[in-house]
């Protein structure tokens, strides 16, 4: 990544002079050049960088030897003073990528639980996927296409996205429900009275560019059509209609999709989010959710957990379903 783009990203996350910034890097030691580039640009913005690396290779060796007395509360206290945490993924985080003894895995899980329990309490917590071949594999995309699309999505006018989001939210604060018209005749009504809208303009998950809300969990009714629907572990599914009653997905016109959804726990079929994409640098749906849901001109609903952003549904998953719709508000 070019240093100019890195600096642009850091400014979008809110890095300010005098702050203490934790750069939490998920990658191998050989890939740490990008981490140092981020640290340099943090310093260029007048803040102080602090680097921590989570290498699968190192962690496998470390936790094969670590005792129960390692990584106690004193260790996690170190991380409580940071103004912001920026998670940098050069590959999928947390996964250790090899076999450990049960005792070692328990210590590793305890370490990760304590670490994230502390880091999530920072004033700002941002996750940023570095455009790499490893990350492309996680989304089943060709590396060059993934790298180009991610880089383009990052190189956006963040002030404009923030302003558009603020203006749209101000408009939607006066409404209680959205009616989505999809396909030839499908209609889905989503009620969200007294719930809070959020503006994703760089302070959370990058790439950014969406506004979203947690609907009332039992107040989504109707049907929604997707020309192409992408779900993990399934091939792209064409011409899919979902039926939603009492806030839960209860049926699909596509057998593969139906079987996938009906295998989820009941809490995992609750419509938990309604979002609108705002990023004009993302072109075309690809099945890479972190890009698709931010694409300008798209809408998405999600099923599963929403207790993290104003809802009350807890579930072991959060699955975004991205499409296009004409929307009326009331």
> Do 251 and 186 meet the contact criterion of CB atoms below 8 Å apart?
no
> Do 25 and 59 meet the contact criterion of CB atoms below 8 Å apart?
no
Q: Which segments of the chain does DSSP mark as H helices, in order?
A: 3-13, 33-44, 56-65, 73-77, 102-119, 133-138, 143-154, 158-172, 255-262, 289-292
Give dist(CA 220, CA 276) in Å, integer: 16
pLDDT value at residue 98: 84
The alpha carbon dihedral of 14, 287, 210, 115 has a sign of negative
Domains of the chain: 3-130 (3.40.1830.10), 159-329 (no CATH)
pLDDT value at residue 149: 97
In this predicted structure, the answer to whether residue 241 has a pLDDT above a threshold of 90 is yes
Judged on CB neighbours under 10 Å (0-12, 13-18, 19+), 219 is middle
Q: What angle do CA 84, 88, 92 make, to 5 degrees?
A: 135
pLDDT value at residue 176: 98
What average pLDDT does range 120-129 have in this prediction?
93
In this predicted structure, the answer to whether residue 124 has a pLDDT above a threshold of 90 is yes
pLDDT value at residue 105: 95
**Higher confidence at residue 204 or residue 270?**
270
pLDDT value at residue 215: 98
- Percent residues over pLDDT 90 in the chain: 96
Give dist(CA 60, CA 246) in Å, integer: 46
- 3-13 vs 33-44: helix axis angle to the nearest 10? 60
In this predicted structure, the answer to whether residue 158 has a pLDDT above a threshold of 90 is yes
Q: What is the CA radius of gyration of the chain?
A: 21
CA 39 vs. chain centroid, Å, equals 23
Exposure b/e, 259-272, CB count within 10 A at least 16 = b: ebbeebeebbbbbb
In this predicted structure, the answer to whether residue 119 has a pLDDT above a threshold of 90 is yes
In this predicted structure, the answer to whether residue 204 has a pLDDT above a threshold of 90 is no
Give dist(CA 125, CA 57) in Å, integer: 25
What average pLDDT does range 116-142 have in this prediction?
93
94-98, 185-189, 236-240, range with the lowest pLDDT: 94-98
CA 36 vs. chain centroid, Å, equals 24
In this predicted structure, the answer to whether residue 146 has a pLDDT above a threshold of 90 is yes
In this predicted structure, the answer to whether residue 261 has a pLDDT above a threshold of 90 is yes
What average pLDDT does range 3-9 have in this prediction?
97
* DSSP character string of 201-260: SSSSEES--EEEE---TT-EEEEEEEEEE--TTS--EEEEEEEEETTEEEEESSHHHHHH
Per-residue model confidence as pLDDT tens digits over 101-111: 999 999 999 99
> Do 294 and 282 meet the contact criterion of CB atoms below 8 Å apart?
yes
In this predicted structure, the answer to whether residue 205 has a pLDDT above a threshold of 90 is no
The distance in angstroms from the start CA to the end CA of the chain is 44
The alpha carbon dihedral of 96, 97, 98, 102 has a sign of positive
In this predicted structure, the answer to whether residue 169 has a pLDDT above a threshold of 90 is yes
pLDDT value at residue 172: 98
- The Cα diameter of the chain in Å comes to 62
């Amino acid at each position: 990544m070019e240093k100019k783009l890195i600096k642009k990203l850091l400014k979008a996350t809110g890095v300010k002079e005098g702050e203490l910034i934790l750069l939490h890097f998920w990658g191998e030691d050989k890939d740490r050049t990008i981490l140092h580039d981020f640290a340099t640009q943090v310093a260029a913005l007048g803040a102080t960088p602090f680097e921590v690396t989570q290498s699968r290779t190192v962690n496998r060796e470390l936790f094969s030897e670590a005792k129960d007395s390692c990584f106690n509360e004193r260790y996690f206290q170190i991380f409580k003073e940071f103004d912001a945490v920026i998670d940098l993924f050069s590959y999928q985080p947390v996964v250790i990528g090899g076999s450990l003894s049960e005792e070692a895995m328990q210590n590793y899980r305890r370490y990760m639980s304590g670490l994230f329990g502390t880091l999530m309490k920072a004033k700002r917590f941002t996750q940023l996927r570095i455009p790499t071949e490893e990350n492309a594999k996680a989304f089943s995309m060709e590396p060059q296409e993934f790298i180009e699309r991610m880089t383009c999505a990052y190189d956006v006018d963040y002030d404009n996205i923030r302003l558009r989001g603020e203006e749209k939210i101000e408009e939607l604060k006066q409404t209680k429900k959205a009616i989505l018209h999809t396909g030839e005749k499908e209609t889905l009504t989503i009620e969200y009275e007294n719930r809070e809208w959020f503006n994703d303009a760089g302070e959370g998950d990058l790439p950014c560019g969406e506004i979203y809300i947690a609907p009332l969990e039992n107040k989504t009714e109707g049907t929604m059509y997707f020309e192409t629907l992408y779900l993990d572990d399934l091939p792209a599914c064409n011409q899919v209609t979902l039926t939603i009653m009492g806030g839960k997905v209860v049926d699909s016109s596509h057998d593969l999709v139906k079987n996938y959804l009906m295998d989820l726990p009941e809490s995992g079929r609750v419509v938990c989010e309604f979002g609108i994409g705002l990023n004009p640098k993302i072109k075309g749906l690809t099945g890479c959710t972190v890009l698709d849901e931010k694409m300008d001109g798209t809408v998405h609903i999600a099923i599963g957990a929403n207790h993290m952003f104003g809802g009350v549904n807890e579930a072991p998953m959060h699955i975004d379903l991205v499409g296009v719709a004409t929307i009326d508000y009331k």
